Amino acid sequence: MLSAAFAALAQMFSAPFRRVLLKSIGLALLVLILLGIGLHRLLAWLAAQIAIGGGTELADVLDFLAVGAVAVQVGTAIFADPTLPVRLVDELAAECRRRGLSSYRELIGTALPRKPGAPSAKGVEYRP
């Protein structure tokens, strides 16, 4: 049985199988590189969309939303107040009702400048 394994290993590096081996290694590397690039871009996009750090009160949440964040992460402040996330959600809902908004999504990007006209042909203008 061991000799059969060595024979198969020896055949793997013969000319016809070497091409298949190298092609499969190259394809695997290409797939890994493409997955790495895609994951990196996804994480970069998520980091730009989620406000992380410093959110301890409703004013912080409103500030993060106004500058374009679609979500706010509450981290270390939970150690001081474990009910903070629930309280912030309740306060945000109350603030939206007070402003007559149907959703917090209407607050996203309100501090950002709006595009004055039609987009440029080059597509280089700011997109909130």
> Residue 73 pairs with which residues in a beta bridge?
52
- pTM score of the predicted model: 0.56
Lowest mean pLDDT among 25-29, 34-38, 43-47, 112-116: 112-116
Contact yes or no for 50/69 (Cβ under 8 A): yes
Domain assignment present for 128: no
pLDDT of residue 50: 81
- Total structural domains in the chain? 2
Q: Residue 65 sits in which domain range?
A: 53-115
Domain assignment present for 7: yes
User: Which tops the pLDDT comparison, 87 or 18?
Assistant: 87
Domain assignment present for 47: no
Contact yes or no for 107/65 (Cβ under 8 A): yes
Do 109 and 57 share a structural domain?
yes
Do 108 and 59 share a structural domain?
yes
Do 28 and 70 share a structural domain?
no
